[in-house]
Amino acid sequence: MKLDHVGIAVESLGAAVPVFEKLLGRRVDFEEVVEDQKVRVAVFEFGRSRIELLEATSPTSPIARFLAKRGPGMHHLTLSVPNLAEKLRALDESGVRLIDPKPRRGAGNSRIAFLDPTSASGVLIELVEEKRRRPQRRGNPKGRASRG
């Protein structure tokens, strides 16, 4: 199990990204929208771990509800596991309360599941399945385009 990322709820990426860029002394790596969770995510990578700033894209987003209740701040932390379905079964059997009893789809086509904060000292914990490394690197789209 490894620390994959920490998710921070923010009112606005437009305001929060420059603050974190200044704080971390570097530019944000990328942004993406995760439709399933109704969030826009700005990602700062640190080797195999990341900080994610999360902005709601809808008033029904879990991030919008979190902001309304608690204001901006740390929203969840994410641990990676080799086999998510197996881990969820084992946690369930040991009495840990699960929000997602089965893996669902997260950012970057990953498989994720959330545990109930009441089982983790009030902290929302997300589990993500480790991706298997591709045997070959994907071609660079720019390189491919320049060919023809």
Nearer to Zn ion, 91 or 110 (CB): 110
According to CB under 5 A, which residues from 31 to 90 bind Zn ion?
78
Interface stretch with Zn ion, choices 20-28, 60-68, 88-96, 121-129 (CB under 5 A) = 121-129
Q: Which residue has the tokens 């379905």?
A: 85
**Pairing relationship of beta strands 125-129 and 73-81 according to DSSP bridges:** parallel
Interface stretch with Zn ion, choices 14-22, 43-51, 93-101, 122-130 (CB under 5 A) = 122-130
Q: Which residue has the tokens 């084992």?
A: 90
Residue 36 gets which letter from DSSP?
Answer: G
Residues in contact with Zn ion, counted by CB under 5 A, come to a total of 3
- Residue 135 CB, nearest approach to Zn ion (Å): 27
Residue 102 gets which letter from DSSP?
Answer: S
Q: Which residue has the tokens 């606005």?
A: 12
The first and second tokens of residue 146, run together, are 């320049």
Q: How far apart are CA 39 and CA 33, in angstroms?
A: 6
Nearer to Zn ion, 36 or 140 (CB): 36
Interface stretch with Zn ion, choices 16-24, 42-50, 87-95, 126-134 (CB under 5 A) = 126-134
Which residues contact Zn ion by CB under 5 A? 7, 78, 126
